[in-house]
A and B are shown apart, each in its own frame.
Chain A
Amino acid sequence: AQSVTQPDIHITVSEGASLELRCNYSYGATPYLFWYVQSPGQGLQLLLKYFSGDTLVQGIKGFEAEFKRSQSSFNLRKPSVHWSDAAEYFCAVGHTGGFKTIFGAGTRLFVKA
């Protein structure tokens, strides 16, 4: 069965430092992969998605993610974090047969001054 694992429950980085959030998936074929962000009191917003092609995907707000089939990973990166990036980040995979997007448990990002 498809699954998504985000190993880090929370991460703290300093403003201006680089960021990498980890995501591993279990899927039998080429997956559809997503990263969403949820600010406090808000719904989820799509940052980027991967379907096929170039394995390095650019998203909004300066985020990027790299699909690595050999590692079953789709890690999210940002070269320089801003205080406004503090939020919860969810990795997700599109489920076989349509309809369902499976989400990881999320990683809470804290940004310190």
Chain B
Amino acid sequence: ETGVTQTPRHLVMGMTNKKSLKCEQHLGHNAMYWYKQSAKKPLELMFVYSLEERVENNSVPSRFSPECPNSSHLFLHLHTLQPEDSALYLCASSQDSGNNEKLFFGSGTQLSVL
């Protein structure tokens, strides 16, 4: 148990659906992240929030929309996704957002887009 909880664990959706991924951290951290993990590719950083403010948007398509209502919760809203968006989506948190911070990861949401 890392203190970072992601729901759902698995999600299958059609290209016209709208769904949301949820992440919650119980560690009192100030920074939260969304990463995309595709087979045989390095983890791709999607978004970074520090103190509920988005500080990094890594050229992610607009069909992915993050939301951070408070420092403990992070959402990733999905709409009109493509099959190539199928991947494991990992949420992480850290005490602060510096480049020397230890990241705590959730178990991920395995997303399949049909």
Q: Do A and B bind each other?
A: yes
Could you tell me if B56 and A99 are in contact, using CB atoms closer than 8 angstroms?
yes
Comparing A13-21, A40-48, A61-69, A77-85, the segment that makes contact with chain B is: A40-48
Main secondary structure of the interface of B (DSSP, over half): loop
In the bound complex, how far is the Cα of B108 from the Cα of A51, in angstroms?
28
Q: Is B97 an interface residue (CB 8 A)?
A: yes
For A42, the chain B residues whose CB sits under 8 A away are 107-108
Could you tell me if B56 and A43 are in contact, using CB atoms closer than 8 angstroms?
no
Could you tell me if B103 and A99 are in contact, using CB atoms closer than 8 angstroms?
no
Residue from B4, B55, B100, B102 with most neighbouring chain A CB atoms (10 Å): B100
Cβ 8 A contact of A95, one of B4, B92, B99, B108: B99
For A4, the chain B residues whose CB sits under 8 A away are 42
Could you tell me if A94 and B102 are in contact, using CB atoms closer than 8 angstroms?
no
Name the CB-closest residue of A to B96: A98
Interface residues of A (CB under 8 A from B): 4, 9, 32, 34, 36, 41-46, 49, 51, 90, 94-106
Q: With A49-B100, A98-B98, A99-B56 given, name 16 new contacts (CB 8 A).
A: A32-B99, A36-B105, A41-B107, A43-B2, A43-B4, A44-B103, A46-B103, A94-B98, A94-B99, A96-B99, A99-B50, A99-B99, A100-B56, A101-B99, A102-B42, A104-B42
Closest 3 CB pairs of A and B: A43-B105, A94-B99, A103-B43
